[in-house]
Amino acid sequence: MNKSDKLDELRLEVGMVADKVNTREDFYSGIINIIGSHLPVGCGVAIYGCDNGYFSNIVSYGKVNEKKYSKYGDCMFSVCSIRGKVTIQTEANSIKAYAPFYDGHHLIGILFIEFQTVNYKITEEDFIFLEEIARYIEIKGVQYNDWTIDNNSV
């Protein structure tokens, strides 16, 4: 199966999550577990929420080297949120992708994926996939009564 077909399969699986869950936490976990189960070994995926001046890891799968909590202004999450679009950071041993999602103009969180550079090559298809998943989170996330997440309960 080629990369395009794999991403289409992921879109389909992720697209069914909202119909199977009742809470935002389960919604986020479902998305992360589906994406994570398809990532190569050594890679990771997470959703970071924003609250009280920090980006915080709400749910993750696999190897995520970002801090659990990062202060606004001190990290790539801030750069991504300012840009308002998928942002890629290339490091010596990894490639990190950040995809913001919003409620109107209010940043809700960031979908984060980390790839080991020896295992994965990011292409335009990946950018499109990340944008689509972030948009899906925006659209389907409104069915849950509010965007507030209790990071201590997840």
* Cα atoms in the Cβ-side hemisphere of radius 13 Å centred on 123: 7
Domain limits, the chain:
3-141
* Tokens representing residue 100 in the block: 């913001």
* Rounded distance between C-alpha atoms, residue 45 and residue 39, angstroms: 8
Task: Return the bridge partners of 111, or none.
Answer: 47, 99
pLDDT tens for residues 64-96?
Answer: 988 898 888 888 888 988 898 999 998 888 899
- Structure confidence at residue 105 (pLDDT): 85
Q: Which residues contact 31 (CB under 8 A, 6 or more apart)?
A: 14, 17, 47, 111, 133, 137
pLDDT tens for residues 120-132?
Answer: 778 899 999 999 9
- Indicate the class that CATH gives domain 3-141: alpha beta
* Rounded distance between C-alpha atoms, residue 47 and residue 118, angstroms: 24
pLDDT tens for residues 4-59?
Answer: 888 888 899 998 898 898 889 999 999 999 999 988 888 899 999 998 888 999 99
Q: Are 74 and 54 in contact (CB under 8 A)?
A: no
